[in-house]
Chain A
Amino acid sequence: MTCQFCKQKDATVHLTQIVENEVKKVDLCEACAKEKGVNDPAGFSLADLLLGLGASQQIEEASEAKGGGLRCATCGYTQADFKKSGRLGCSDCYDVFADGLDPLLKPMHKGIRHKGKVPGPLRRETDLNQQLLSLEKDLQGAIAREDFERAAQLRDQLKVVRSAAKP
């Protein structure tokens, strides 16, 4: 069995931990085990178990690039908390810890951009913005063509959409 982390040396350290009723197993070589602090099970990062090996390192590197010690202003969550639990503190944390996220998400998901449902109020906003954009484009085209009758129609439509777009 090779080490799950460096994938080179033989795994000699086998760690089994129960994380929220789920059995997590990690097999490491001695060097990697030491580096990851496995000798001290309490110090072993949950992020690695939950999010995959190397996760805690990525979180750390991203934070250091920003000068270290990132902290969410909304909920007080720190980069160390993230590393320890593998979870975030609140929705605003996703902005605070944004830099380390993409490499973390890549192996976990199909992509790193959301596809699918968008909340209703936002959906409406997006639709209206798109309508506005296309109407404005049409209006400019009509003016350039000196089709003033069409331009007047478009101007009226724009007025309606603009007032709807305002909350």
Chain B
Amino acid sequence: MNILEFLISPAEASQRTGPNDRIVFSSRVRLARNLKSHPFPGHAKKADRIKAYEILFPAIRSLPQMGPEPFAESLEKLTALDKQILVERHLVSREHAAKGAGSGLILNREETLSVMINEEDHLRMQSLRPGLQLRQAWLSIDAVDSDLETRLDISFSDKYGYLTACPTNLGTGIRVSAMLHLPGLVLGEQINQIIQAVNKLGLAVRGLYGEGTEALGNIFQVSNQMTLGESENEILERINKVLLQLVEHEENARQTLLEKKPKVLFNHIGRAYGVLANAHTVSSKETMNLLSLLRLGVDIGMFAQTPKALVDELFLISQPAHLQLNHPDREKLAAEDRDIFRADLLRARMKSVPTPHEPATPSSEPSV
């Protein structure tokens, strides 16, 4: 099965909506699980890895939660482009994309459940939801996990809980995270303060693609760091509370900008529109930052007829692998050619976006 044919198109994927999706792109809950007494993937020899894979793969593929026709494949069957597309969709981690034989991926039709086999742990199972829906994401991955543990011998200790390759994931093995768009806090220069405050609560703030990545396009990922000594529900509640506060802070920051520095704000957004609609070469990094401003402009009502979904689609299709996929040759483009092709694509798509105007009554914007 071809992953590129399996995946929902960027246009369709961007249509998905969820609570608080003005600010929260997506919610994710990931569980780390391992088989008893099998060496963890990082330490296992190839034969051991394949042995574990052969136990795990059929067990997961036949889970009712994965649906009748999941995408299920060994990573050696995927091309570099396939893997990069999956990373850009947040369906596999960058670490997993680097793996080959003995590692695999199982993905349901809706792309809400993705199970990585032999990543750092034997199983990394994640549930993804649009907007702020941590509880729903947890319930769905919990159901997968509960079903799976009746079929597999999962390593668990009374004291340390679920045993993982790295002691930092021990216990619940849970990583709860949400992807947030925080241009108001960045423009209002409050973001560093906010990040520090969130860090103090034991939560990590990272860039778009997780650990060690830059916060391009004012997109931040917030996740729990501690997994032992706190139950799944406690972790969920704590992070949910923080996320709701972040949403409120972001709405307030936008409101303040509209009231106190409207010209600065409109100038940023107007210029972003200008470049996106007229540039002939534009880097991925610059595009992300410009699209962030465009999305902010849509949110505050500067682009009357433009749906948020269009901006989200542009976010996705201007990523390097998606861009390459769109190119008639599908050959790996040199960075320079890619920037030109990206600009061509953006100019064409921006034709449907009207020139920005100042929002009529900025104060009528909903503040959560």
Binding site for B on A (CB under 8 A): 18, 20-23, 50-51, 74-75, 77, 81, 85-92, 94, 101, 104-105, 108-122
Known: A22-B212, A74-B37, A114-B171. 17 other contacts (CB 8 A): A21-B213, A81-B43, A87-B42, A88-B167, A89-B40, A90-B40, A91-B37, A94-B163, A105-B228, A109-B171, A112-B228, A115-B171, A115-B229, A116-B172, A117-B161, A117-B231, A120-B146
Instruction: Report whether A110 and B40 are in contact in the complex, using a CB–CB cutoff of 8 Å.
Output: no
Shortest beta-carbon distance, A111 to chain B, in Å?
2
User: Given A75-B43, A110-B226, A115-B229, is A91 in contact with B34 using a C-beta cutoff of 8 Å?
Assistant: yes
Instruction: Report whether B167 and A51 are in contact in the complex, using a CB–CB cutoff of 8 Å.
Output: yes
Q: Which residue of A lies closest to B212 (CB)?
A: A22
Q: Which residue of B lies closest to A24 (CB)?
A: B212
Report the Cα distance A61→B142, complex, angstroms. 38
The count of A-to-B residue pairs whose CB atoms sit within 8 angstroms is: 135
Report the Cα distance A154→B352, complex, angstroms. 77
* B193 adjacent to chain A (CB < 8 Å): no
Q: Which residue of A lies closest to B150 (CB)?
A: A120
Q: How large is the interface on B (under 10, 10 to 19, 20 to 34, 35 or more residues)?
A: 35 or more
Instruction: Report whether A108 and B142 are in contact in the complex, using a CB–CB cutoff of 8 Å.
Output: no
Instruction: Report whether B167 and A121 are in contact in the complex, using a CB–CB cutoff of 8 Å.
Output: no
Which residues of B in the span 33-54 have a Cβ within 8 Å of any Cβ on A? Answer: 34-40, 42-44
- On chain A, the residues within 8 Å of B157 by CB distance are 91, 94, 114
Instruction: Report whether A88 and B231 are in contact in the complex, using a CB–CB cutoff of 8 Å.
Output: no
Which residues of B in the span 114-154 have a Cβ within 8 Å of any Cβ on A? Answer: 120, 142, 145-146, 149-150, 154
* B186 adjacent to chain A (CB < 8 Å): no
Instruction: Report whether A116 and B168 are in contact in the complex, using a CB–CB cutoff of 8 Å.
Output: no
- On chain A, the residues within 8 Å of B154 by CB distance are 119
Report the Cα distance A86→B232, complex, angstroms. 25
- On chain A, the residues within 8 Å of B43 by CB distance are 75, 77, 81, 87-90
- On chain B, the residues within 8 Å of A87 by CB distance are 40, 42-43, 120, 165-167
Instruction: Report whether A110 and B229 are in contact in the complex, using a CB–CB cutoff of 8 Å.
Output: yes
- Which of A88, A91, A109, A110 has the most CB atoms of chain B within a 10 A radius of its CB? A91
Q: Which residue of B lies closest to A22 (CB)?
A: B212
Instruction: Report whether B229 and A121 are in contact in the complex, using a CB–CB cutoff of 8 Å.
Output: no
Q: Which listed residue (A75, A77, A113) contacts B159, Cβ 8 A? A: A113
* B155 adjacent to chain A (CB < 8 Å): yes
- On chain B, the residues within 8 Å of A50 by CB distance are 166, 168
Shortest beta-carbon distance, A52 to chain B, in Å?
10
User: Given A20-B95, A81-B43, A88-B165, is A117 in contact with B232 using a C-beta cutoff of 8 Å?
Assistant: yes
User: Given A50-B166, A87-B40, A91-B37, is A117 in contact with B212 using a C-beta cutoff of 8 Å?
Assistant: no
Instruction: Report whether B149 and A120 are in contact in the complex, using a CB–CB cutoff of 8 Å.
Output: yes
Shortest beta-carbon distance, A18 to chain B, in Å?
8
Report the Cα distance A87→B234, complex, angstroms. 26
Instruction: Report whether A118 and B229 are in contact in the complex, using a CB–CB cutoff of 8 Å.
Output: no
Q: Which listed residue (B36, B39, B161) contacts A116, Cβ 8 A? A: B161
- On chain B, the residues within 8 Å of A112 by CB distance are 159, 228-229
Instruction: Report whether A114 and B158 are in contact in the complex, using a CB–CB cutoff of 8 Å.
Output: yes
* B99 adjacent to chain A (CB < 8 Å): no
Q: Which listed residue (B95, B120, B166) contacts A21, Cβ 8 A? A: B95
- On chain B, the residues within 8 Å of A110 by CB distance are 202, 226, 228-230
Q: Which residue of B lies closest to A81 (CB)?
A: B43
Instruction: Report whether B161 and A101 are in contact in the complex, using a CB–CB cutoff of 8 Å.
Output: no
- On chain B, the residues within 8 Å of A91 by CB distance are 34-38, 155, 157, 163
- On chain B, the residues within 8 Å of A23 by CB distance are 212
Instruction: Report whether B142 and A117 are in contact in the complex, using a CB–CB cutoff of 8 Å.
Output: yes
User: Given A22-B212, A90-B38, A118-B156, is A113 in contact with B229 using a C-beta cutoff of 8 Å?
Assistant: yes
Instruction: Report whether B160 and A22 are in contact in the complex, using a CB–CB cutoff of 8 Å.
Output: no
- On chain B, the residues within 8 Å of A113 by CB distance are 159, 228-229
Please name the 3 residue pairs, one residue from A and one from B, whose CB atoms are nearest each other, closest first. Answer: A111-B229, A114-B161, A91-B155
Shortest beta-carbon distance, B212 to chain A, in Å?
4
Shortest beta-carbon distance, B206 to chain A, in Å?
9
Instruction: Report whether B227 and A115 are in contact in the complex, using a CB–CB cutoff of 8 Å.
Output: no
Q: Which listed residue (A74, A75, A92, A109) contacts B228, Cβ 8 A? A: A109
User: Given A92-B37, A105-B167, is A114 in contact with B160 using a C-beta cutoff of 8 Å?
Assistant: yes
Report the Cα distance A111→B95, complex, angstroms. 28
Shortest beta-carbon distance, B140 to chain A, in Å?
14
Shortest beta-carbon distance, A50 to chain B, in Å?
7
- On chain B, the residues within 8 Å of A109 by CB distance are 170-171, 226-230
Instruction: Report whether B166 and A116 are in contact in the complex, using a CB–CB cutoff of 8 Å.
Output: no
* B280 adjacent to chain A (CB < 8 Å): no
User: Given A21-B211, A104-B167, A105-B167, is A114 in contact with B36 using a C-beta cutoff of 8 Å?
Assistant: no
Shortest beta-carbon distance, B307 to chain A, in Å?
34
